């Protein structure tokens, strides 16, 4: 035998009450009646249940509103919370909830702010009280008030100047909520651009993230202001400004040129973010990235080439440059080798440091070429010159270049069929990574010749497991084709 509804409410068996309502909505009328109960737990849980039901509780709104004046603060708070869950149909509660923003109990002020944001339907009084509550002594109340103003949207445009002030709040949570709400309000949010740009210097990354998002939401109107801080003395501001521009659909060559100047910024993270932003811009930024390659050190070249690769087929104009990088041969004479030996065996620490940097430079030089090979796999599908350059790179002395060349030929698929003989030779490479990628490439290209089958079969028992697996997979793919 099922328990009486009154007992379930008294015992806070909310799940069972909700289950009954789901099966029989007439139970909802009984729950509404229990709001008048003199037993605190029954009254409290009735209000709670009605909030969980949401808009179905439309007939209970007036009774719940009356509970906002209950002497028990917890009942008052629960009424505010439930009205927020019921949503915009509870507009008659707006005036009462607004007055609760000055209640002595912090949790009531908090729930009143949340409810006002969810209900919407603002009045001049409710907006005025929310603006005043931005100065509440409680951090959590100020945060929820800022969020509520954003949820109300354009009708809260009068709050923009006060939210701008809140961008300097001592709490990063409040600053973050304020930045987000400025962008959500939209109307007249352009007035907040100077304050938002100043907030790019905020010490908390979460605030900067929301500020950058707000500037992105505002759009074109924020671009002139952002451009002005691209040469800011603070590297964080420069980085965040570039990041904000990266999410916009920039097509103006002058703006792209201004952004590309930061490819030579003195700070690595700014240079990297600039390359990433130019990648997001796409085809229009390719000439700027190519110019950036000319002045970049090897480490930065890797980043720029990666950005070109990310642009994909729209970066077709970069193919000649990438080929020249891949085919460039650095001459090392016997005198240079002798110098390095002397550095290595020197008793002084300084010559050894010089050797270390020389070795690092050689490493990054190989990285540049391998990145160029990888990029050609993303860009050079219809380029015979790109395929020839990758085929030639299969005999490069550096294994990482040979590996990336094999990988890229595989990416190019059937258009790289002319490279089959070179890939078959690469199956005998001394480095397992090269044999692995060459096997994969042959499987992807999908041309089954006697030499291809023979070469892949010879790797089925390779000493490296992943090479064996790649060869077997390639043979299976060729058999299916």
- At the top level of CATH, which class does the domain 1-121 belong to? mainly alpha
For residue 282, is it left (φ>0), alpha (ψ between -120 and 50) or beta? Answer: left
Is pLDDT at 338 greater than 90 in this prediction?
A: no
Is pLDDT at 49 greater than 50 in this prediction?
A: yes
Q: Please provide the average confidence, as pLDDT, over all residues in the chain.
A: 88
Structure-block tokens of residue 13:
């068996």
Structure-block tokens of residue 123:
């009045």
Structure-block tokens of residue 275:
């390359």
- CA distances to 220, 253, 466 from 215, in Å: 9, 20, 48
Judge residue 300's burial from the number of C-beta atoms within 10 Å of its C-beta, 0-12 exposed, 13-18 middle, 19 or more buried.
Answer: buried
How far is Cα 98 from Cα 128, in angstroms, rounded to an integer? Answer: 9
Name the percent of the chain lying above pLDDT 90: 71
pLDDT for 337: 40
Q: Where are the alpha helices (DSSP H) in 328-480?
A: 334-344, 349-379, 384-393, 399-412, 420-426, 432-445, 450-457, 465-480
Q: At what angle are helices 384-393 and 319-327 packed, to 10 degrees? A: 20
pLDDT for 333: 44
pLDDT for 357: 38
How far is Cα 459 from Cα 469, in angstroms, rounded to an integer? Answer: 9
Is pLDDT at 339 greater than 70 in this prediction?
A: no
* Residue 211 pLDDT class (50, 70, 90 cuts): confident
Model pLDDT for residues 214-237, shown as the tens digit of each residue: 888 888 888 999 999 999 999 999
How far is Cα 383 from Cα 380, in angstroms, rounded to an integer? Answer: 5
Is pLDDT at 353 greater than 60 in this prediction?
A: no
Is pLDDT at 361 greater than 50 in this prediction?
A: no
Structure-block tokens of residue 397:
């002395």
Model pLDDT for residues 376-408, shown as the tens digit of each residue: 999 988 899 999 999 999 999 999 999 999 999
- The residues spanned by each domain of the chain are 1-121, 137-247
* Residue 348 pLDDT class (50, 70, 90 cuts): low
pLDDT for 111: 97
Structure-block tokens of residue 239:
């980085």
Model pLDDT for residues 243-285, shown as the tens digit of each residue: 888 888 788 999 999 999 999 999 999 999 999 999 999 999 9
pLDDT for 183: 81
Judge residue 112's burial from the number of C-beta atoms within 10 Å of its C-beta, 0-12 exposed, 13-18 middle, 19 or more buried.
Answer: buried
CATH fold for domain 137-247: 1.25.10
For residue 296, is it left (φ>0), alpha (ψ between -120 and 50) or beta? Answer: beta
Rounded mean pLDDT, 77-92: 95
How far is Cα 206 from Cα 475, in angstroms, rounded to an integer? Answer: 50
Measured over all CA atoms, what is the biggest interatomic distance in the chain, rounded to whole angstroms?
99
How far is Cα 68 from Cα 248, in angstroms, rounded to an integer? Answer: 46
Placement of tokens 């210097």 in the chain: 201
pLDDT for 349: 52
Rounded mean pLDDT, 94-107: 95
Is pLDDT at 410 greater than 70 in this prediction?
A: yes
> What 3-state class would DSSP assign to 94?
helix
Is pLDDT at 336 greater than 80 in this prediction?
A: no
Topology match between the domains 1-121 and 137-247: yes
| Cβ atoms of residues 81 and 107 within 8 Å | no
pTM summary value: 0.68
Is pLDDT at 212 greater than 80 in this prediction?
A: yes
How far is Cα 199 from Cα 176, in angstroms, rounded to an integer? Answer: 10
pLDDT for 332: 40
How far is Cα 5 from Cα 442, in angstroms, rounded to an integer? Answer: 71
pLDDT for 342: 52
Rounded mean pLDDT, 434-443: 95
Is pLDDT at 346 greater than 60 in this prediction?
A: no
């Amino acid at each position: 035998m099922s328990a009486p509804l009154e007992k379930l409410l008294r015992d806070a068996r909310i799940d069972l009450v909700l289950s009954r309502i789901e099966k029989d909505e007439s139970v909802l009328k009984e729950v509404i009646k229990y709001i008048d109960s003199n037993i605190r737990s029954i009254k409290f849980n009735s209000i709670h249940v009605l909030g969980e039901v949401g808009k179905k509780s439309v007939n209970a709104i007036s009774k719940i509103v009356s509970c906002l004046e209950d002497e028990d603060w917890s009942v008052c708070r629960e009424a505010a919370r439930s009205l927020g869950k019921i949503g915009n149909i509870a507009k008659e509660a707006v005036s009462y909830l607004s007055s609760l923003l000055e209640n002595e109990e912090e949790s009531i002020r908090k729930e009143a702010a949340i409810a006002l944001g969810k209900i919407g339907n603002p009045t001049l009084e409710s907006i005025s009280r929310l603006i005043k509550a931005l100065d509440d002594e409680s951090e959590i109340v100020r945060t929820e008030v800022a969020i509520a103003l954003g949820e109300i949207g354009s009708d809260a445009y009068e709050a923009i100047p006060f939210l701008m002030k809140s961008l300097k709040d001592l709490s990063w949570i409040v600053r973050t909520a304020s930045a987000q709400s400025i962008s959500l309000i939209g109307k007249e949010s352009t007035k907040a651009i100077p304050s938002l740009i100043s907030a790019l210097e905020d010490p908390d990354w979460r605030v900067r993230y929301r500020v950058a998002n707000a500037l992105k939401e505002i759009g074109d109107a924020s671009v002139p202001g952002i451009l002005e801080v691209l040469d800011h003395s603070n590297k964080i501001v420069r980085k965040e400004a570039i990041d904000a521009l990266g999410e916009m659909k920039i097509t103006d060559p002058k703006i792209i040129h201004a952004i590309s100047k930061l490819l030579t910024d003195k700070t690595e993270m700014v240079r990297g973010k600039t390359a990433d932003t130019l990648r997001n811009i796409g085809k229009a930024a390719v000439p700027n990235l190519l110019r950036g390659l000319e002045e970049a050190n090897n480490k930065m070249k890797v980043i720029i080439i990666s950005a070109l690769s990310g642009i994909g087929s729209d970066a077709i104009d970069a193919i000649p440059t990438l080929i020249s990088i891949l085919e460039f041969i650095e001459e090392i004479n016997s005198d240079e080798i002798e110098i390095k030996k002397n550095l290595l065996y020197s008793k002084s620490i300084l010559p050894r440091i010089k050797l270390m940097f020389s070795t690092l430079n050689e490493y990054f030089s190989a990285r540049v070429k391998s990145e160029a090979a990888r990029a050609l796999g993303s860009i050079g599908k219809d380029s015979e010159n790109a395929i020839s350059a990758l085929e030639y790179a299969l005999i490069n002395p550096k294994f990482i270049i040979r590996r990336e060349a094999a990988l890229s030929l595989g990416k190019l698929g059937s258009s790289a069929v002319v490279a089959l003989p070179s890939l078959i030779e690469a199956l005998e490479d001394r480095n397992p990574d090269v044999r692995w990628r060459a096997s994969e490439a042959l499987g992807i290209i999908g041309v089954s010749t006697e030499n291809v089958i023979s070469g892949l079969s010879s790797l089925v028992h390779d000493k490296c497991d992943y090479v064996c697996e790649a060869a077997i997979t390639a043979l299976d793919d060729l058999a299916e084709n």
